[in-house]
Structure 1
Amino acid sequence: MDFNNAQRTAALDPSSYDVYDQCFHNLDIVWYWRAIQPIETRRIRNWSDLDEFPRVSGAQGRQGMGDVPASRLFVQHDMTLSSSPTGQISMLPTFYNFDSFAVESSEIDVDREITSWASLLDPKWSGQVALVDEPAIGVFDLALALSASGQMKFEDMGNMSVEEIDELMDLARNLIMTGHLRPFWLRAGEPVERFLSGELKLASIWSPTIVEMKHLGFQVRQARPLEGYRGWHGGMCLSRNLEGETLDRAYDWLNWYLDGYAGSVVARQGYYMCAPNRVRAHLSEAEWNYWYEGLPAPEELNDNAGRPAIRVGEVRSGGSRLDRARHVTIWNSTMDEHNYVVRRWSELVELASARSRTNRRAG
């Protein structure tokens, strides 16, 4: 399911699943409807091994705007969520990352020439830019670009007012009508096809997509904007319907997921797992040094299918896990005006698709 449909199903039909696997910014609505039950940290074997990013507000000295994971991690006695530690959590932290956008790099030194979110709006790339079709993600890529280029100011970018949302959407509409923005993408594999066809030069991106393009020999690199990354943190919740042996099996699943192997799989996709010491035992030294430490690859590294993906000497964009973590400016968020954002965002997506259909017919 996409983010919105998964969130809706999780909130309204907890009998339809055992584990809700999502992100912290998709937690609030599900928790509000009490569709999930608190997780007992005493039943999580590796709880003490979890790193500080999801547990501590301001980890690594930079909290960032938006839905900071720690702010909704711990279940309080009154069933509210906060960063104050208790023995119960709302969502078990799993893997996470720090995102920006991808740049076709065959003729560009991305680290030197593409240094700001404002590049997404540079007329140089008009007609070759696309954003992800997910309002709790894509809207912030756009907001960061508008802010960096001086076209908008936000009182709180992580929780925009209706007036700010309207202004942002009006500017986005103009970017679509002038042809600057291409249609939004929804499937993770779609940017691969569109970059390879030459349609796109810059786009919102997820790290597995970058790994896939590298395997195909395509030159692409994630930008490191001076304004900072957009962070997100995944996690798992337990349906309120679970009890007895079914609940025990769900805890077995949560514990297995943090035990290292799953973390090694997502590492080769460019993601970090919140129990890194467990992951390290399942990666080669070369893999650990490239993916987690930001060091040059001493040998060719494979993806999860055993196919060559990372070339010898290549260095991960942004450096080590800690370097990248210190550079987060905002976390993916579900704003107070989320329903309004979704409606306005849907209008943009349809406008971009309609304009693309019209252009194809005219061509």
Structure 2
Amino acid sequence: MMSSTSRSGFPAPPRIERRVLRVLGTEITLLDQVRRKAEADLGFTIQFEVLDFISCQRRAAMEPTAYDIYDQCFHNLDIVWAWGSLRPIDTERISNWGLLSGLTREGGISRYAWRGHGDAPVRKLYVQPGEQLAAAPSRYISMLPTVHNMDSFGYDARVFGRPEGGRDSWAWLLDPRAKGRIALVDEPAIGIFDAALAAEAAGELQFRDIGNMTVAEVDALMAFLNDRRQKGYFCAVWRSAEEAAELIRADLLSAQSMWSPVYGQLGEMAPLVVEAAPIEGYRAWHGGMSLSRHLSESALDMGYDYLNWWLSGWPGAVMARQGYYMSVPERVREVLPAAEWAYWYEGAPAAADLPGPAGNVVVRAGARRSGGSYWERANRIAVWNTTMDEHNYAVRAWESFVAGVRSGAP
């Protein structure tokens, strides 16, 4: 707080510095309309720094004083937590903690649901003595679970048709019919599992635990991918939804890894692209928010206000319009118009054209969401995005493969 003397000779009124909360994250959640609404509701300035998954994780681990909130995915948590950059979150300061879904707090949409291989959020949600992370419930958590989804891939109906009855298969992502027109997402904790699911579904490889491959299994997968690369199967890799959409709008692809918002950005190509509901199950992911270790008490209060705001319902409605779910679905239901709730969460036909976050139409009247309702999709998780025990080895192998795709080298 500063003061000065005015031209009249009287002390000028004190100038109050507006408080600032810095949020480091990715394009998944750091939308400008979210920032503006949060500032209006919370009364302080919010600064977003938007990076890709890998760059965001690296900055969070190595520069913990550069941000206040780390907004990422659970599979990007281990490394940052291990570096001591984050502090435990007290669930007694989270007003809607008791409303979080079973998928988030217990690992499955119901007690009978298959939990999926890999980094299900519950497996690293709770802080144990010694600040180890595990599934045993405790008062403190590592990351507040928020946005999540069950991803698959998109394919060209001109090549694969429009099969009915749930006969889509991950094998199509590496199918000879799509040779030369295939793209993967360039993130080793994501793209490697799309490729592994495809290789296993095609009968080319088999993994003891697809969510935690051995060195030998990583080697076998990368040998398989490099063989396909040398035979000309891949035309691109991508890191953002816009890059993925542009490849399809340019009619360069017949199959590729896909994120939900991409389907609303395809323009004239949209009627030709089908979101797969694979018989083998989905690759799921779960986002969340953590507090930086460095926060002062006043900044910490702002941090908790921001975390609680994310579970208030409105942010979840915006996320739904991207095709994403929230960890507090009942709060979202209170805010989301009935027609949008019915389509995105219940799997019902769209009663009218539905908007995306920017207000443009992303769903046409009469369309149904691929895979059905939230509960149907959440019961069919094959593997979660994961940082495996051999993550560093897998990253080096993946980067070599990606470099070959980008360069077009034989």
TM-score bucket of the superposed structures, by smaller chain:
over 0.9
In 2: Cα distance, 1:121 partner to 1:239 partner: 40
Q: 2:96 and 2:355 mapped to 1: Cα distance?
A: 28
* Cα distance between partner residues in 2 of 1:324 and 1:24: 19
Q: Which residue of 2 aligns with 1:188?
A: 241
Tell me if structure 1 keeps the 8 A contact 2:118–2:386.
Answer: yes
**Which residue number corresponds to residue 58 of structure 2?**
8
Q: What is the deviation of 1:57?
A: 2.8
Matched with 1:105 is 157
Query: Residue 8 of structure 2 aligns with which residue?
Result: none
- Separation of aligned partners in 2, 1:25 and 1:110: 32
Aligned to 1:74: 126
**Cα RMSD after superposing both structures:** 1.6
- CA 1:113–1:31: 2 relative to 1, 3 Å: closer
Counterpart check, 1:333 vs 2:383: no
1:264-312 deviation per Cα after TM superposition (whole angstroms, max 9, x unaligned) = 1110000001111111122110000000000001111111222222111
Distance 1:5 1:351 in 2: 21
Question: Please, which of 165, 168, 175 is the counterpart of residue 115 of structure 1?
Answer: 168
Matched AA of 1:297: A
- Deviation at 1:62? 1.0
1:111: Cα distance to partner?
4.0
| Number of the residue aligned with 2:256 | 203
Q: TM-score, normalised to structure 2's length?
A: 0.84
Equivalent residue pairs, number: 357
Q: Secondary structure at the match of 2:145?
A: strand
Unpaired segments ≥5 residues, structure 2? 1-50
Match of 1:44 in 2: 94
Structure 2 partner of 1:312? 365
The residue that corresponds to 1:90 in the other structure is 142
> Structure 1 length as normaliser, TM-score?
0.95
Task: Measure the CA separation in 2 of the matches of 1:216 and 1:176.
Answer: 26
- Against the structure 1 CA distance between its residues 83 and 215, is the aligned structure 2 distance closer, same or farther, given a 3 Å change threshold? farther
Cα distance 1:216–1:282, how it changes in 2: closer, same or farther (>3 A)? farther
Query: Aligned partners of 2:125, 2:58: CA distance in 1, in Å?
Result: 20
Distance 1:261 1:348 in 2: 41
Pairwise CA distance, 1:213: 2.0
CA distance in 1, matches of 2:153, 2:264: 14
Q: How much does 1:318 deviate?
A: 0.1
Alpha-carbon distance in structure 1 between the residues aligned to 2:234 and 2:154: 15
Listed one character per residue, the Cα deviations across residues 244-273 of structure 1 (whole Å, up to 9, x for unaligned) are: 110000100001111011101110000001
Distance 1:277 1:249 in 2: 25
In structure 1, which of residues 220, 223, 235 is the aligned counterpart of residue 288 of structure 2?
235
| Partner secondary structure for residue 100 of structure 1 | strand
**How far off is 1:325 after superposition?**
0.2
* Distance across 1 between alignment mates of 2:167 and 2:154: 10
Q: Report if the CA contact (8 A) 1:301-1:309 is conserved.
A: yes
The question of 1:32 aligning with 2:82 is answered yes
Q: Which amino acid aligns with 2:53?
A: F
Distance 1:239 1:92, change over 3 A: same
Change (3 A) 1:77 1:269: same
Give yes or no for contact 2:353–2:361 (8 Å, CA) kept in 1: yes
Alignment equivalent of 1:276, drawn from 329, 354, 359: 329
Which amino acid is 1:211 matched to? G
The one-character-per-residue Cα deviations of 1:199-251 (angstroms, maximum 9, x if unpaired) are: 10111010011122268754322101111000100000000001211000010
Task: Tell me how far apart the structure 1 counterparts of residues 99 and 89 of structure 2 sit (CA, whole Å).
Answer: 17
Decide which of 60, 72, 76 is 1:22's aligned counterpart: 72
Matched-pair contact (CA < 8 Å) for 2:166–2:279 = no
**Shift, 1:9, TM fit:** 1.3
Give the secondary structure class of the aligned counterpart of 2:298: helix
In the TM superposition, what are the counterparts of 1:257-276 in structure 2 within 5 Å?
A: 257-276=310-329
1:139 correspondence with 2:189: no
CA displacement 1:51-88 (0-9 Å, x = unmatched): 11111034431111001110100111221111111110
Percentage of matched positions with identical amino acids = 47
Shift of 1:156: 1.3
Tell me the SS of whatever aligns to 1:233. Answer: strand
Kept in 2, the 8 Å contact 1:114–1:223? The answer is: no
The answer for the alignment partner of 2:303 in structure 1 is: 250
